[in-house]
Homo-oligomer: A and B are copies of this chain.
Amino acid sequence: MKTAAAPAEDQIDVSTQSIRDAIRDAIVDRRLAPGTKLSEADVGALFNVSRTLVRGALQALSYEGLVNVEKNRGAFVAYPSPEEARQIFATRRMIEPGILREAAKHMGLSHFQYLRQLLMEEGRLMNERGQMARRAEIKASGDFHLALASMTGNAVLQRFMDELVARSSLVIALYGQSAVSSCGHQEHQDIVTSIERGDLDRACQQMAHHIDHIEADLDMRENKGSDLREAFRR
């Protein structure tokens, strides 16, 4: 057993889906470090299920880009390369302005209230200290983008954004410097304000800059300590 990551919930009725979600959360929350090996037997033991279900979960996560499965070697928490990170953010730059315009078409009062509520929560976390608050903050930041995606009513887009946000969280956890998120929060607020005003062009521009800022705040030099293992993997 390598990692102690499983929530101590009573593991009743766990199926592939819940295992997938649990591991996914653990990865995005960075309770599982990139590069960590996810042995089928170990994970199965943690959840009291057979390798069959674990394999299914790992395969799904591999499809989302959160874990890499190497043939005959096992599954590892993804360790996004700087190039991968660049591609992820390039993709977000490409689709998020469109999401914003599409979402705006469908937004009513209740949607704005919901966004404002998310932002308040985000701000609250920003002023807290500690690892846990930091994690929650990263997640909350992603939730904002996911909320916009869900407001498009487009399930395909929503799935794409799910994947992009999850992988972004991983990248931020890996390469992110500290000061980032605070400015991100202000930018979220500005975007909502622009949408409310009906100034979508401005909102899109702000969104583009926002993504630029997130990416610019990464330090993607190769890396912290354990990268030697990673370099010679393969």
**Count of this chain's copies in the oligomeric assembly:** 2
Task: Give the contacting residue for A63; candidates B55, B60, B84, B160; CB below 8 A.
Answer: B60
Give Cα distance in the complex from A52 to B59, angstroms. 13
Decide yes or no whether A45 CB sits under 8 A from chain B: no
Q: Is the CB of A157 within 8 A of B59?
A: no
Chain A residues 15-70 with CB under 8 Å of chain B are 52, 55-56, 59-60, 63, 65
Closest chain B residue to A65, Cβ basis:
B156
Q: A59-B59, A59-B60 are in contact. Are A155 and B87 (CB under 8 A)?
A: yes
Please tell me which stretch of A89-97, A183-191, A198-206, A217-225 contacts chain B, meaning at least 4 of its Cβ atoms lie within 8 angstroms of it: A89-97
Q: Is the CB of A94 within 8 A of B102?
A: yes
Decide yes or no whether A154 CB sits under 8 A from chain B: yes
Q: Is the CB of B156 within 8 A of A87?
A: yes
Contact size class for A?
20 to 34
Q: A156-B164, A164-B156 are in contact. Are A90 and B102 (CB under 8 A)?
A: yes
Give Cα distance in the complex from A88 to B154, angstroms. 8
Q: Is the CB of B160 within 8 A of A91?
A: yes
Min CB distance A132 to B, Å, is 30
Residues of B within 8 A of A84 (CB): 155-156
Decide yes or no whether A78 CB sits under 8 A from chain B: no
Q: A59-B59, A60-B63, A95-B95 are in contact. Are A87 and B154 (CB under 8 A)?
A: yes
User: Which of A84, A156, A157 counts the most chain B CB atoms within 10 A?
Assistant: A156
Chain A residues 103-119 with CB under 8 Å of chain B are none
Binding site for B on A (CB under 8 A): 52, 55-56, 59-60, 63, 65, 84, 87-88, 90-91, 94-95, 98-99, 102, 154-157, 160, 164
Closest 9 CB pairs of A and B: A94-B98, A87-B154, A91-B156, A87-B156, A63-B63, A91-B157, A95-B95, A94-B95, A90-B154
